Amino acid sequence: KKPPFRDCAHARQAGVTKSGVYAVRAFNSSQPVKVWCDMETNGGGWTVIQRRDDGGLDFHRTWAEYKLGFGEPAGEHWLGNEQVHQLSSQQPHVLRVELGDWEGHHAFSLYERFSVASEKQHYRLLLKGFGGTAGRFSSLSQSGVSFSTKDADNDNCGCRCSQMATGG
């Protein structure tokens, strides 16, 4: 049970069963980073890369802010594109996206393979094997799309997605 773990799945395999903030360090990272580990959902071991609960944290941010991450792991946050890249490139990962609305409706999307490319490749999202209950309501339906922010439009869409969605 000695941290830092490679990710929350590694922590779960090491016997950690309580959700909370843990130190993880990807194989190619020099420093550990604190992340929220969800140890209850679908068997546990999930590294939470984004949480939005009440809208109290502004997600309309710059490329530099999304690169490094913002917020607090125990609350609303974005882990950081560089961390997500490092974690997702060390071994195959599954991505689970939990969705909920103010009326208490819940759904999820599950991708069998998930990775985020390097900054040089604009943190391109790579997804394979879609499933779950969210269907067309999932916002991650396009694999191969580059990350965009309010100051860096990389999505090849004339609509400026990050401006429309007020987030990265």
- Is the predicted pLDDT of residue 84 greater than 90, yes or no? yes
pLDDT band at 135 (very low <50, low <70, confident <90, very high): confident
Here the tokens at position 4 are 């830092």
| 75, 37 contact by CB (below 8 A) | no
Q: Which domains does the chain have, with CATH numbers?
A: 49-165 (3.90.215.10)
Per-residue pLDDT tens over the stretch 47-68: 999 999 888 999 999 999 999 9
Phi, psi of 96 (to 5 degrees): -120, 125
Which of the pair, 165 or 51, is modelled with greater confidence? Answer: 51
Here the tokens at position 61 are 């941010």
